[in-house]
Structure formats: C-alpha cells, structure tokens
Amino acid sequence: MLTGLDVLKRDDFKPLAGMRAGLVVNQASVDRQLRHAADIFADAKGVELKALFGPQHGIAGTTQDNMIEWEGSRDERLRVPVHSLYGAHRKPAAEMLDGLDALVIDLTDLGARFYTFVWTAKLCLEACAERGIKVVVLDRPNPLGGDVMEGTVLDTEFRSFVGLSPVPMRHGMTMGELLLMIREREIPHGDLTVIPAEGWRRGSFFDETGLPWVMPSPNMPTLDSAVVYPGFCLLEGTALSEGRGTTRPFEIFGAPYIDPHRLCDELRSCGLPGVHFRPLYFEPTFQKHAGTVCGGAQMHVTDRAAFRSVITAVAVLETIVRLYPDSFAWKEPPYEYETVKLPIDILAGGAALRAQIEGNAPLEEVEESWRDGLAAFGRARAEFLLYDREGAAR
C-alpha cells in the first residue's frame, strides 16, 4: 500500500512541478520507509520547499497535553521557517503564505470529528482560497476503516475547533475525502487536489495496511487507542480522567470516587458488543487527577468489527452518572477556544446527547436518535469517496 506521499514521490512530484511549496506536517508525516515528508521535499527535484507548518501538539509532536499552544521557529537544518497553526493563528496568516504557489498537507487523521488536524486542513484551504494558492492533500488511510459511521452529526450552532463542519463523530472518511466534501459545500472557490493512497481497502483497519504506525499525537500511542477514541474523547468534556497521563489513554478511564468492581459489573450488564471491561486502579502523571489514585476500568476491545465506541462511551457516562450522581461533573469551559458552551456540548455537536446521558435514556433510543442524521450524511458523502472495498481508487 502507498500513501499519497509515496505516490507523489513515485511520480516525481509532477503535480507540483516548478512550484514553491509549504508543507503542513507533524512527526507522523512519513513514507513507507519512515522517511519524513520534509526531508523528501527538501531533496525533491522541480519543487522548492519554502516553509513548514505544524498542527496541534507541535510539528514534532512535543506538546504532550491537549490545548497547549506552541510558537513558530526556524528549521536551521532545512533553512525554512516553521509556522504554528495552534496558537495565535489556527488559520494561516497572509504573511505565512507569502511566496507560496502551493500548500501541501500530509497529516494522519483518525476519522473522528474531534481530531483537530482536519480542521487545521480546512482553515488552510480557506486561507489559500483567499489568496489563490493551490492546496494538495497527500491522502492516508482512515485508521478505523471507511465503512462505519457513528454518533451525532454536528449542529452548526456548536461549531468549534473540535468540529467546524456538520459531520458525525466517526465519519468513515479519509482526510482527502472529507476535504473534497467540505470544499464542494463550503469553499467552492478553493483549488484543491487530493493525491489518493493506493491499495487501501475501505473496510481495512490500519494494521491491515502494512504501513508503520507513528503516533499522530502524543496521546495516540497505538491503534487500540484510536479504535476507542471516537467515543471516549467525550470524557474530555467531564471531570473524569480519560487516561491522559497513563500509558493507555482513552482505553483507561475513571476518577478517585469510583469503585472499579461495581462499575465494571454494571457495564458488563449493558450487553455492549465487542468489548470487555476490566476493573483497575491507576494514577495519572499529569492532567485530571494527576498524582491521585483513581478507580475505573480498562477497555479491552475483543471484536473491532462489532465494537461501537460512541454508544459504549454513552453507556459508560450514563452508568457513572447513575452510580455517582453527587460526584460526577461536566467540565466547565474554556475548551478548545470555546469560552461559553460546555465542552461536552461542543464535543457532542449539540446539547441533546448531554440531556440523554443525564436522563439515563435507553441506549437503543440514543442510537435511534442518530439514525436519520447518519443516513443523510452517508448519502451526501457518497460522491466524494475515493476508495472501494477491493483496494482500488474510485
């Protein structure tokens, strides 16, 4: 299998011939041989690397926690400026784009609406459209596959940096596919080219691609973390630990007041498919409850095809709210540059899911409430899908 970066390199950078290019990358922007895109571009014939841009967590993935801004600098080895797109500017400023003919984006997305890299890419497309600069996306597989969609579709009144367009929590698209859809709907004057990956089967998880896993962000150490992320990122909207500060973020969750055995007994009774809850105690080294022993659970996904992360997270939250009503709390703003709306509401893309959780709504009822939105999104996305289930580009 080849990523868009591998394809561009194989084809001698023809789509960028004679251009001065900026490159939006982080530590996971590597080819099949683990060579970084910036080094590949620096050595390329016929294209001139003029600047580097980095998303949340820094261009080298060094800002460990979430919501930590970083400043631009200069890469003295490559002799180009490095611009931060997570700080004073989430959308590239005009001066950052001066002298560029094209902006090339090579980021690993997780297929979850909350993951901010696709919104960095959208803001790059907006900025480049305003200045007549071409955007080229080097596409990569969706690590979770491209068939399953889950959760609520964003209500546009709840736009934030964890959701700038009306897509579901788990959307089943690659970054290239999603940006083609966004360009058509929201930025029709944008000059966008997607270089598809080759050989990706739409139903395949990342470990079926043969590509090396490089952490796309510091708290995404493994594919296992990514599999649970589309649901368990919701815990960022609570005072519960989502496992940051442990070696298994998003797979581990809890709080100091939770009895892990009681919690896991209740969760097992929910009949959730493809997952086993193991009681445990843990002590986060940073972020929520740092240095305090928490009771909770570790999720062990036993069947990825059957597992549904979003409804599983809803079941976890409903259970904890029901068992510990006097201790459970939603996180207060600010969160991801939103200072008024509750973090759980901007993560969920609206206030309805919070009300369902607080009301202990039956899980079947919660899933049913998503059905029409997911069906409509599925119909709308169809014309933008680039890959089929046999590994051929469409």
CB neighbourhood size of 13 (10 A):
19
Same-fold call for 4-212+378-384 versus 223-358: no
* Average pLDDT of the residues in 129-141: 98
Which CATH class, in words, describes the domain spanning 4-212+378-384?
alpha beta
Reported as a single tens digit per residue, the pLDDT across 42-75 is 999 999 999 999 999 999 989 887 778 989 999 9
Looking at 191-296, list the stretches that DSSP marks H as alpha helix, in order from N- to C-terminal side.
223-232, 260-268
**Dihedral pair phi/psi, residue 379, rounded to 5°:** -70, -40
Reported as a single tens digit per residue, the pLDDT across 180-219 is 999 999 999 999 999 999 999 999 999 999 999 999 999 9
Confidence of residue 394 (pLDDT cuts 50, 70, 90): low
Reported as a single tens digit per residue, the pLDDT across 277-324 is 999 999 999 999 999 999 999 999 999 999 999 999 999 999 999 999
Cβ neighbours of residue 98 closer than 8 Å, sequence gap 6 or more: none
Reported as a single tens digit per residue, the pLDDT across 324-370 is 999 999 999 999 999 999 999 999 999 999 999 999 999 999 999 99
Reported as a single tens digit per residue, the pLDDT across 209-229 is 999 999 999 999 999 999 999
Q: Report the percent of the chain where pLDDT is more than 70.
A: 99
Confidence (pLDDT) at 163:
98
CB neighbourhood size of 79 (10 A):
9
- Distance CA(244)–CA(16), nearest Å, equals 40
- Specify the amino acid at residue 98: D
* Average pLDDT of the residues in 372-388: 97
Nearest by Cα to 124 from 152, 100, 155, 156: 100
- Tracing tokens 């600098």 back to the chain, one arrives at 73
Confidence (pLDDT) at 393:
65
One-character DSSP codes across 98-129: TT-SEEEE-----SBTT-THHHHHHHHHHHHH
- Distance CA(210)–CA(388), nearest Å, equals 18
Confidence (pLDDT) at 64:
80
End-to-end Cα spacing for the chain: 16
Q: For the chain, give every domain's residue range.
A: 4-212+378-384, 223-358
Mean of all residue pLDDT scores within the chain: 96
Reported as a single tens digit per residue, the pLDDT across 77-89 is 999 999 999 998 9
**Dihedral pair phi/psi, residue 368, rounded to 5°:** -65, -35
CATH topology classification for 223-358: Aspartate Aminotransferase, domain 1 (3.90.1150)
Number of H helices, E strands in the chain: 11, 12
Confidence (pLDDT) at 392:
63
Q: Based on the number of CB atoms within 10 Å of its own CB, is 110 exposed (0-12), middle (13-18) or buried (19 or more)?
A: buried
